[in-house]
Amino acid sequence: MRPDESLESLLRRFKRGVSVEGITRVFRSKMSFLSKGEKRRLKRKRAERRRKRHAYER
């Protein structure tokens, strides 16, 4: 905790740090088992959504 820092700002800083590092995403992914094929399908699906989203923005 920094000097003269409120609890709310400490929590905000902690949450931002955790989200930037991707800790919660990794934790959720390890909560259940996914086979290699399922991971590959999910990765392809995410890439397709990302491509569509970026194509729409341009």
Q: How many CB atoms lie within 10 A of CB 41?
A: 12
Q: Tell me, what's the pLDDT at 8?
A: 94
The answer for residues whose C-beta is within 8 angstroms of residue 2's C-beta and 6 or more apart is 10
Q: Report phi then psi at 2, rounded to 5.
A: -80, 155
Residue 1 has pLDDT above 90, yes or no: no
Residue 24 has pLDDT above 80, yes or no: yes
More confident residue, 41 or 21: 41
Residue 10 has pLDDT above 70, yes or no: yes
Task: Give pLDDT tens digits for 43-53.
Answer: 999 999 999 98
Q: Tell me, what's the pLDDT at 58?
A: 66
